[in-house]
Amino acid sequence: MSSSIPSPRRGVVAPLLTVVASGATLVMLAACGGGGGTRDEGVASIATPSAHAATTAGPDAGHVRIRLDDSQEDVNRLWGAWSHCLEEHGLPSGTKALPDNPAVKACDPKYPLQPVEMDPAKNPRYSDGVRAMVRCMNSHGIKSAVSDGNWSLVSGDSLNLPDFDKDKVQCQVKSFKNGG
């Protein structure tokens, strides 16, 4: 499964990004709808308490960051905002977003970073979380495996399971919270 939203940043969990990006693509094709209030990143969303607001320092400062407990709908909105920004800055939809492209540079702060807990460079217990994630997903009938140090789906068919999104979020929180 490939996506028209390539990753210009390093350290993103490739299999998860593929699932997230494909979900974002499907949502963008289906409709551009939004919920109520506004999230701090300027993305239409349900208003959330400041306790959920991600704070970062260093090179990631100012970037939006996906939360561990974000629903797929929330994640899709973040990716949609980044894609919309690219289009507004002259990068047509479906065009490869190369890191040196002026649109990519202009929209860099809107590029959604993975949750800190799911970043192997920031979570020393990431490998434990990956193994726990695979066990949890498999216990929900979502065939998953460890692949190249990350978790991945054995088949894209699992995306069609009725509770996939809910189970994935529950497994992420259970497997990666508190560093694994």
For residues 45 and 79, is the Cβ–Cβ distance under 8 A?
Answer: no
Residues 100-130 have pLDDT tens digits of 999 999 999 999 999 989 889 889 999 999 9
**Among 137, 132, 107, CA closest to 117:** 132
The answer on pLDDT for 83 being more than 50 is: yes
Pick from 24-28, 76-80, 87-91, 119-123: least confident:
24-28
Can you tell me the mean pLDDT for 52-79?
A: 77
Q: How far apart are CA 17 and CA 3, in angstroms?
A: 9
Alpha-carbon distances, residue 148 vs 10, 76, 179 (angstroms): 15, 25, 19
For 157, other C-beta atoms within 10 Å of its C-beta total 10
Q: How far apart are the first and last CA of the chain?
A: 28
What is the predicted pLDDT for the residue at 59?
66
What is the predicted pLDDT for the residue at 55?
42
Residues 3-38 have pLDDT tens digits of 344 444 444 333 334 444 444 433 333 333 333 333
Give 67's pLDDT tier (boundaries 50, 70, 90): very high
